A = this chain, B = another copy of it.
Amino acid sequence: MPVMTPAMLQQFIIDEFPQVLHLDCKIEHVDDSTITVRMSASENHLRPGGTISGPTMMELADATMYFLLLAQIGPVALAVTTSLNINFLRKPAPGDLIARGKLLKLGKSLATGEISIYSEGMDDPVAHVVTTYSIPPKRNAG
């Protein structure tokens, strides 16, 4: 069972990760190996033509993996991305994006996951990401 619930993750964003507040993420589900995050498409993220920009999707994927990792190991603010590989597959439709993340490996020092990003109401993914986080060693309690 994950150690952080969606509500705890939402509070963590407010307290420790305000730089993603602009994505307006809602953690819809999290369990031992998967997560679903909805991003409200506001004016800020739109490219001319009404689609969400590539960098916004990269940021959403990065945050989704971070939430999925934190849900397993607790609020370790110092976990950092070591690599991220994204393929842009289709033009997103106007509207919300749904990121579905899955842990591929949760090791002691590295965690790897994949994230598929969907436009609401489309069956095929608009982008696919594989990313690895580095987990800092635990400090001994004093």
Interface residues of A (CB under 8 A from B): 19, 47, 53-55, 58-59, 62, 80-90, 104-105, 109-110, 112, 114, 124-125, 128, 130, 132, 134
Contact = CB atoms under 8 A, between A and B. Distances in A.
Contacts of A132: 82-83, 87
Contact of A53 (B19, B84, B87, B89): B19
12 contacts: A54-B62, A54-B80, A58-B62, A81-B88, A83-B87, A84-B86, A90-B105, A104-B125, A110-B134, A112-B128, A114-B114, A130-B130
Decide if the interface of chain A is mainly helix, strand, loop or mixed: strand
Contact of A128 (B59, B86, B110, B114): B114
A65 to B, nearest CB: 11
Contact of A88 (B53, B83, B90): B83
Contacts of A19: 47, 53
Contacts of A130: 85, 87, 128, 130
Nearest to A45: B19
A38 B106 CA distance: 26
B84 A110 contact: no
A92 to B, nearest CB: 12
Contact of A87 (B47, B55, B104, B109): B104
